[in-house]
Structure 1
Amino acid sequence: MDTLSVWRGTAAPTGYAMVNGDVTADVLVIGGGITGVTLADLLAEQHTANKPKVVLLEAGEIGCGSTGNSTGNLYETLSTGMRELVSRWNTDVARQVANERRGAVAFIEERARLLGDVGFRRCPLVQWADQALADAMRKEFEALAAAGCAVERATSVPSPLPPAQGEVLVLPGQAQFQPQAYVAALARRAAEAGAAIHEHSRVIALDLKARRAVTATGSVTAKEIVIATHTPLGMHLVQTEMPVHREYAIAFEWPADAGPGPGAFWWQGSEHLSVRTMQANGRDYLVCVGQEHKVGIHNAKASLLALEMLAKKYVGERPVAWRWSAQNYRGADGLPYIGRDAEDCFIATGFATDGLTWGTVAARLIAAELLGHKSAFAELVRPNRLSPVKGARRIVEESVTVVKQLVKDYLTHRQNEELASLQPGDSAIVNAEGETFAAYRAPDGELFAVSNVCTHMGCKVHWNSVETSWDCPCHGSRFRPDGTVIEGPAIHALKRRHAPPLGS
């Protein structure tokens, strides 16, 4: 199934060369999403005598990860609800968060003016729920107001959205843009200012003590390393605290006059649905997002189908033009992890589904610290903060999930099929000659057989039928059928296994 997002499919391509040979830098940025590219731009635009030399390594293409597979919504609140943040922390922290995120949206607006047409527009964020969540909406209004957000009440939502059965919350002055177009244009700006940007330069070895990252075609040694890969590569303590989820999205071609108009529309009913419109290349689209599930232990195809059925219940039967999904990692206490960690490198993770805004916040905080101006907000989100009470439940839940998957998969045989029965398009955990491995038969008959043990921490991988990948349920690493890494924290590929051809 083609899972290219509407953002990546309608934006101009990028074309940066792979890193070649051994390179030195003041700052190495690993990851070409909104966090890494914004940071590279901020550092490269400096006009001081000690302007840092910046190198950015992207494993695929700029924006190909969570940035180019997001919703394109920008807002000062949080998708999990400001009420949850207030309950975990207090109204002062909620106010700081709203202020920092509001400033990040304003920063994106300023950059958008410099970059040309990246689809930026100011619009409201509208939230409503079914009757069962009426009390939650009331508490959300109170939390938003306490955080200093200019929240308003309404009684209805525009067609064709699910009808409101209670209170409707409206947060004016939020924003939307074309995230892929934005990050690609920002990368060009950073490169023009002197940052060295390299695509198709996956890090295959990372020595944080030596400050050296190795790729298939070269290496970079730097004074400072920033891991802006959504979850940090390799082993980091924060990974034990973060649940990992995938959320699904579809886009229909949609008449511009059919509603609902500019805005981010969040419905919280028996199921969650996020809706927005967008325009690209002379066409209009309706983007619908929902069905968030734990990575590796859900049926991806069923999730995507459920989203399509829910969306079509309100927009009618029409063909889906684009289908995709994105991964997110949640901080245990409701806040992200941004700053220098115990490994003495900078990380930026735990953004939940608020990554476009949090990624911009992270880049600004890290840039300030690298340039000698550490922000007060940086102390609140530092990776090594200790908040056991605020994050205890989520840390325990995540640890239990990891242990369950380790025990379950090592004591049971999943999809225990014979290799000879594997037909084109099928996948399974198979046994052959006393060995167990993950196998996938491509539509053309080619067989891919790899170790079914994740190279990060040894969990067993599970098949994702939508994106044709092996996904790890413990910390979210994902691998192609040939074993190569799609996204970390794993750095090393799944080991290839020898397998006989079809019919042998």
Structure 2
Amino acid sequence: MLKKSLWSSFATNPLKYPKLEGDIAVDVAIIGGGITGITTAQTLTERGFKVAVLEARSVGYGTTGHSTGNLYIIIDELLSSLKSKYDNDVVMRVIESRKSALEKIEENVEKFNIDCDFSRQPLYLYEDVNNIILEEIKVAEEINLAFTELAEDFPFEQDNGIHFDHQAQFNPLLYVLGLAASLDKEKCSIYENTTVRSVEEQADRVLVNTDDAIVAAKYVVHATHTPKGLELQYHTTLGPYREYGVAAKLESTSYPQGIFWGYYNNQKYSIRSYSRDGEKYLIAVGSPHKVGQAENNRKHVEDLVNFLQDRFIVGQITYTWGGQNYKPADLLPYIGRKIKNSREFIATGFSTDGLIYGTLSAMIIADKIEDKFNRFEDLYEAARHQPVKSAKKFVKENANVAGEFLKDLSFKGDDKDLLEIMPGEAAIITRNGEKAGVYRQQNGELKVVSALCTHMACMVHWNNLEESWDCPCHGSRFDTSGEVIEGPAYHPLPKKIIEK
């Protein structure tokens, strides 16, 4: 079982927000209390809108609280990947938009005096024996993006490398909690433990239905990392992935500062240090896989731990965590109205760049709601269609989804004796022609739920690392009680009773 993220260990006294238990009306309802939702709330309330933020669990503790805390103007997939699909003008506009979001974060830190360890740092890219960095140098030179080749005394073994100055790092959870605390309480209400079950768009308003209340709003923002419900025009172009993070106390105080992206045998590892309260940690993030498709989730963290311990002088691994991201087929996130003239706005497809893109989404969506022009809105238009740029990845992602669905249709079930399921373990079994996910708690009692995802009826797979039921089709995840953790699913897995 994973431990908590490093960031959550420093949020010792987070604010607690109430659960929504009565109907309300607002200008804008925001679903999701991560960096996207809270920044959107902050931007809109400053412009006079009345806002409600609906968070299914706790503000900041979802994807935001499981990120790297790195902020940079290039993208996770590298500029060379963008250049393979777009011209230099688009590549430069992506960089400019991301730079504006980074500056917005820095502005908020200073404006609201947020104690989140924000600091400007260089981003280093280096590799062992491949030509990844050479391609990046070529693109940077084409667009006149300033970079510096690595000095001979660079601390890590490498074949090629460059760095970009004036990037940044912070504690993302402390930032979001601080930003939430700064919101005008008269204009913005935040509700935790408030799960949205459906959204109904009408001619003049949108109704957001939770377990205990209805929110009537002029506009709704889906700040949920991926749109909720059957938004297939987006889900079929997004690849859901999980990636892991580990942190250990540093035994050396001379570890270099900065963001380090190391490419070892074509696999990228993101490495950084972090200091707070007199302690110094080294963080490594990597080992990705598609959601619900790992044969053994535990091995991904084990590989990451081995990578860290084999190359650096560190003490005991003190924190391990997982995070989710959605990779867009054409490499650009979807930000804006769900469809033309819709009252619903989405922000998705951030890959692992959610801290920057979440902030940028807030800036673009707030302008759209206020009917103001944003110079980057066309670049990330949510209702766009890029058949040529998306085709290859679109086919690959959907062939993978179809394969998982058909594979599960032919699954005959385990039918193993329930006594063989040990405490902390789970299995898919078949009873009376129905598939059920069975998890045995440490006290020996069983939790039994339907094994079919409530989004599109793909069969969920057991995640033995995070003790969750994960859907391999569009990335929905459920806890052992069946409740939605994340993903497009609105509804929990129905509970089942096993007949002996």
TM-score (norm 2): 0.95
- AA at the equivalent of 1:122: R
CA contact (8 A) 2:414 2:430 kept: no
Partner of 2:287: 291
Q: In 1, Cα distance between the equivalents of 2:493 and 2:153?
A: 48
Partner of 1:54: 51
- AA at the equivalent of 1:408: K
Assess, with a 3 A threshold, how the Cα gap between structure 1 residues 32 and 92 changes in structure 2: closer, same or farther: same
Comparing 220-229 and 111-120, the one that deviates more: 111-120
- AA at the equivalent of 1:56: V
Report the 3-state secondary structure (helix = DSSP H, G, I; strand = E; otherwise coil) of the residue aligned with 1:229.
Answer: coil
Partner of 2:172: 179
Deviation of the 1:346 alpha carbon? 0.2
Within-5 A mapping of 1:2-401: 2-12=2-12, 13-46=14-47, 51-113=48-110, 114-131=112-129, 133-134=130-131, 136-156=132-152, 158-159=154-155, 161=156, 163-164=157-158, 166-192=159-185, 194-209=187-202, 211-236=206-231, 237-255=233-251, 257-260=253-256, 262-270=257-265, 271-298=267-294, 299-316=296-313, 318-342=315-339, 344-401=343-400
Assess, with a 3 A threshold, how the Cα gap between structure 1 residues 108 and 147 changes in structure 2: closer, same or farther: farther
Deviation of the 1:404 alpha carbon? 0.3
Assess, with a 3 A threshold, how the Cα gap between structure 1 residues 303 and 241 changes in structure 2: closer, same or farther: same
State the Cα deviation string for residues 75-120 of structure 1 (Å, max 9, x = none): 0000101011011111100000000101111111111112332110
Report the 3-state secondary structure (helix = DSSP H, G, I; strand = E; otherwise coil) of the residue aligned with 1:142.
Answer: helix
Q: In 1, Cα distance between the equivalents of 2:224 and 2:136?
A: 31
Assess, with a 3 A threshold, how the Cα gap between structure 1 residues 121 and 400 changes in structure 2: closer, same or farther: same
Deviation of the 1:435 alpha carbon? 3.1
Q: CA RMSD in A?
A: 1.6
- AA at the equivalent of 1:78: I
Assess, with a 3 A threshold, how the Cα gap between structure 1 residues 156 and 220 changes in structure 2: closer, same or farther: farther
CA contact (8 A) 1:98 1:147 kept: no
Identical positions, percent: 37
Q: In 1, Cα distance between the equivalents of 2:236 and 2:491?
A: 19
- Where structure 1 has 5 or more consecutive residues not aligned to the other structure, the ranges are none
Report the 3-state secondary structure (helix = DSSP H, G, I; strand = E; otherwise coil) of the residue aligned with 1:39.
Answer: helix
Comparing 445-454 and 312-321, the one that deviates more: 312-321
Assess, with a 3 A threshold, how the Cα gap between structure 1 residues 317 and 277 changes in structure 2: closer, same or farther: closer
Comparing 310-319 and 89-98, the one that deviates more: 310-319
Q: In 1, Cα distance between the equivalents of 2:254 and 2:497?
A: 54
Q: In 2, Cα distance between the equivalents of 1:429 and 1:157?
A: 53
Deviation of the 1:31 alpha carbon? 0.5
Assess, with a 3 A threshold, how the Cα gap between structure 1 residues 433 and 235 changes in structure 2: closer, same or farther: closer
Q: In 2, Cα distance between the equivalents of 1:476 and 1:200?
A: 21
Partner of 1:458: 457
Deviation of the 1:215 alpha carbon? 1.6
CA contact (8 A) 2:34 2:176 kept: yes
State the Cα deviation string for residues 318-345 of structure 1 (Å, max 9, x = none): 3111000100001110100000012541
Report the 3-state secondary structure (helix = DSSP H, G, I; strand = E; otherwise coil) of the residue aligned with 2:315.
Answer: coil
CA contact (8 A) 2:36 2:223 kept: yes
Assess, with a 3 A threshold, how the Cα gap between structure 1 residues 348 and 258 changes in structure 2: closer, same or farther: same
State the Cα deviation string for residues 108-156 of structure 1 (Å, max 9, x = none): 111111233211000000001111x22x211101223434432111145
Comparing 4-13 and 454-463, the one that deviates more: 4-13
Deviation of the 1:433 alpha carbon? 4.2
Assess, with a 3 A threshold, how the Cα gap between structure 1 residues 115 and 414 changes in structure 2: closer, same or farther: farther
TM-score (norm 1): 0.94
- AA at the equivalent of 1:40: A
Q: In 1, Cα distance between the equivalents of 2:406 and 2:365?
A: 39
Deviation of the 1:184 alpha carbon? 0.4
Report the 3-state secondary structure (helix = DSSP H, G, I; strand = E; otherwise coil) of the residue aligned with 1:378.
Answer: coil
Deviation of the 1:412 alpha carbon? 2.1
CA contact (8 A) 2:250 2:313 kept: no
Partner of 1:483: 482
Q: In 2, Cα distance between the equivalents of 1:335 and 1:189?
A: 31
Q: In 2, Cα distance between the equivalents of 1:54 and 1:497?
A: 38
Deviation of the 1:158 alpha carbon? 4.6
Q: In 1, Cα distance between the equivalents of 2:137 and 2:8?
A: 35
State the Cα deviation string for residues 176-235 of structure 1 (Å, max 9, x = none): 000000000001112446211111111122223361112223221100000000001101
Assess, with a 3 A threshold, how the Cα gap between structure 1 residues 126 and 317 changes in structure 2: closer, same or farther: closer
Deviation of the 1:419 alpha carbon? 2.1
Q: In 2, Cα distance between the equivalents of 1:431 and 1:456?
A: 21
Deviation of the 1:306 alpha carbon? 0.7
Deviation of the 1:256 alpha carbon? 5.9
Q: In 2, Cα distance between the equivalents of 1:293 and 1:247?
A: 7
Assess, with a 3 A threshold, how the Cα gap between structure 1 residues 158 and 16 changes in structure 2: closer, same or farther: farther
Report the 3-state secondary structure (helix = DSSP H, G, I; strand = E; otherwise coil) of the residue aligned with 1:374.
Answer: coil
Q: In 2, Cα distance between the equivalents of 1:157 and 1:484?
A: 51
Q: In 2, Cα distance between the equivalents of 1:285 and 1:208?
A: 47
- Where structure 2 has 5 or more consecutive residues not aligned to the other structure, the ranges are none
Deviation of the 1:436 alpha carbon? 2.1
